[in-house]
Amino acid sequence: MSKVVPELPSQLAHVQVRPARAEDVQDIFETIGYWAGQGKMLVRPMQNIFENLRDFFVAEIDGQFAGCGALHVLWGDIAEVRGLAVRPEAQAKGVGQKIVAACEDEARRIGIPTVFAWTYSVGFFERCGFRLIDKTKELHPRVWSECLRCPFFVGCNENGVVKRLHGVPEPRNLPEPPPTQVPPGIR
Ligand SMILES: CC(C)(COP(=O)(O)OP(=O)(O)OC[C@H]1O[C@@H](n2cnc3c(N)ncnc32)[C@H](O)[C@@H]1OP(=O)(O)O)[C@@H](O)C(=O)NCCC(=O)NCCS
């Protein structure tokens, strides 16, 4: 990583989360790219980040980029937490949890009752109140929306986790979602 976030004891870390800005894209791109290189998440091209910039939140510790994450609306009843990446130097200071909380607040604000994520970090999401789901049975048809550009499309081994947000009613008059192609090997 090109920039170094100062080491801070977890209990002293001052984490702030805000909507992303154009000037954050390089940091978002590098941080996601770093973890994609470690096989922890899907690489995200810079153009994709710009096009979805209004989905993204950025976390800062003492004004320095510490991590990012996005809430992407999939349908009227579900949104996906994606692009969640904390700089290695800023891990275990509550950054990831605060970004997920910001995504949940955004889902509440726009009236979406369920948040979903694909992940290898199930334990982290469980700590955030998500539950692991059986991806052969319980998945909303729209959660496969990004799978077609994934190199692990065939025989996907990511886990699906979901959280029903308290106090957010199911939207009324929702049309049926269009069918989405399910990766081979899932069912
Ligand atoms: C997974 C990730 C987002 C977690 O962010 P983080 O800022 O390090 O985590 P936090 O400090 O917010 O942790 C919150 C809680 O989850 C726990 N936790 C964090 N990572 C965990 C893991 N992999 N397994 C189990 N628990 C975990 C922490 O111990 C903490 O628990 P506590 O509240 O009891 O102390 C971050 O490590 C990361 O970017 N990893 C690489 C990329 C990745 O896997 N992204 C997710 C793709 S969807």
CA distances from 100 to 18, 61, 177 (A): 12, 16, 25
pLDDT of residue 8: 47
What is the number of the ligand 1 atom nearest to the C-alpha of 85? 39
Å from CA of 174 to ligand 1 middle: 34
> Which residue's C-alpha comes closest to atom 21 of ligand 1?
124
Q: Which atom of ligand 1 is closest in space to residue 92's alpha carbon?
A: 11
- Give pLDDT, residue 35: 96
CA distances from 74 to 105, 114, 117, 141, 177 (A): 16, 10, 11, 9, 9
Ligand 1 contacts (CB < 6 A) are 35, 40-41, 84-86, 91-97, 117, 119-121, 123-124, 127
Distance in Å, CA 175 to ligand 1 centroid? 35
- Is the pLDDT confidence value at 183 over 70? no
pLDDT digits (tens, 9 = 90+) for 39-94: 899 899 999 999 999 999 999 999 999 999 999 999 999 999 999 999 999 999 99
Find the 124 Cα to ligand 1 centroid distance in Å.
4
Domain boundaries along the sequence of the chain: 10-164
> What is the rounded (10 degree) CA torsion for 19, 24, 27, 31?
30
Per-residue pLDDT, averaged over 113-136, amounts to 94
Cα-to-centroid distance, 83 and ligand 1 (Å) = 14
Q: Which of 127, 146, 158 is the pocket-test mutation for ligand 1 (most atoms within 8 Å of CB)? A: 127
Class of domain 10-164: alpha beta
Cα–Cα separations (whole angstroms), residue 9 to 13, 61, 64, 84? 6, 12, 16, 22
- CA dist 102 to 39, 55, 122, 126, 168, Å? 25, 11, 19, 16, 15
Confidence band, pLDDT 50/70/90 cuts, at residue 185: low
**Does pLDDT of 180 surpass 90?**
no
Ligand 1 midpoint to CA 51 (Å): 26
